[in-house]
Structure 1
Amino acid sequence: MSRHLTEVRDWMTDDPVTIAPQLSLYEAYTRMIENDIRRLPVVDRRGNLLGVITLSDVVKTAAFTRDSAKVESDLLANTQNVAAIMTEAPFTVAPDDTIQEAAELMLENQVSGLPVVDGARVVGIITESDIFRLVVESWASVEIEM
């Protein structure tokens, strides 16, 4: 596989779902559930990265329960906003970084996804699922060549 095809830009999700820091934890939870994602880049009005909030971060603020209706009601009652619990200054990668660099950063820091930034502006997100997709497609192309 050529070096170009192992750049983050070729495997990231473009224009990821994001959230503003002043919005509620319930709004963050709803966006993640509706979009079947586990993390949201937190951005300012210009799309610059301020932090990351994960589904795990949000659910931890609710009372311990496996009942999603209870989680939702707890989050509706919670007055904290996204900025209160987001991870500030998260690890990031650039679009022209390699998948290897992204994977190493994820492994070293035990994170499952990274915002992709151009300067400070969020342009994508790369997750362990994206990297698994690359691995599977690489294996498939090797089998075809054999």
Structure 2
Amino acid sequence: MRRLLVRDVMTTDVRSVRRGTPFKDIAVMLAERRIGAVPVVDDERTVVGVVSEADLLDRELVPHRWWEWRRRRVRDGGVAGELMTQPPVTIGAEDSLVEGARRMAREHVKQLPVVDRYGKLVGIVSRSDLLRIFVRTDEELREEVVHDVFGRVLWLPEERARPLVAVADGVVTLTGELERASLVPIAVALTRRVPGVIDVVDRLTFATDDTAP
């Protein structure tokens, strides 16, 4: 089975800004495209920072001369280079979706610019993109378990494999008899790895115990 990667779910039609892009233009872009952040790139499309909604918010804080000066500067014409978070938190297109989710959680961000090996922008991935793998129908999950787990890996004919697999609300129940005991944990482990599977209920039995000494 192929592991799902960031490139499988990322958005390639991604907008970016330059260091000199004005505050107002960034705010309009975020609002019109309904996105929470935008990458800042240089002339070579290398990601140098990220401007998020949080960076643009005019927070209400206790008055302070420095802070009031910065608030006025943002309102009066701050640019991306002054507002962006740097260094940027990015991810590679060939990284796994699990790594993408971990990085978002660790860095407390909702979007990650996707870069190639040279740091150049190729896309963007959001939390909603990562969640898409769980929005699969039970029938889609069942077909993948039957064909990929039991067919391609365990070499079980479809007519024998199909009765073994039932799916309800993302939970896969494996019921029936396999030829050898050693195949049971393999079937369960591979089924858990299918993108979108929430849990696996193991009710498999075996004809021969090949694990006993």
CA RMSD, aligned part only? 2.5
Q: Could you give the per-residue CA deviations for residues 61-115 of structure 1, whole angstroms, max 9, x where no partner exists?
A: 6x79xxxxxxxxx899422111111001121111100001111111112111111
Partner of 1:84: 82
Q: How many residues align?
A: 134
Q: Could you give the per-residue CA deviations for residues 15-62 of structure 1, whole angstroms, max 9, x where no partner exists?
A: 31111111111010011111111110001122110100012211236x
Q: 1:113 pairs with 111, 114, 130, which one? A: 111
Tell me, what secondary structure is at the counterpart of 2:38? strand
Long gaps (5+) in structure 1: 65-73
Percentage of pairs with the same residue: 29
Letter aligned with residue 48 of structure 1 = T
Determine which structure has the larger helix proportion and give its number: 1
Q: Residues 42-61 of structure 1 correspond to what in structure 2 (within 5 A)?
A: 42-60=40-58
| Larger Rg computed on CA atoms | 2
Seen in structure 2, the aligned counterparts of structure 1 residues 139 and 106 have a Cα distance that, compared at 3 Å, is farther
Contact map agreement 1:26 1:75 (CA 8 A) in 2: no
Q: Which has the higher contact order (CA 8 A, sep 6+)?
A: 1
Tell me, what secondary structure is at the counterpart of 1:84? helix
| TM-score normalised by length of structure 1 | 0.81
Q: Residues 1-146 of structure 1 correspond to what in structure 2 (within 5 A)?
A: 2-3=2-3, 6-60=4-58, 77-118=75-116, 119-137=118-136, 141-142=140-141, 146=166
Structure-1 separation of matches of 2:83 and 2:73: 13
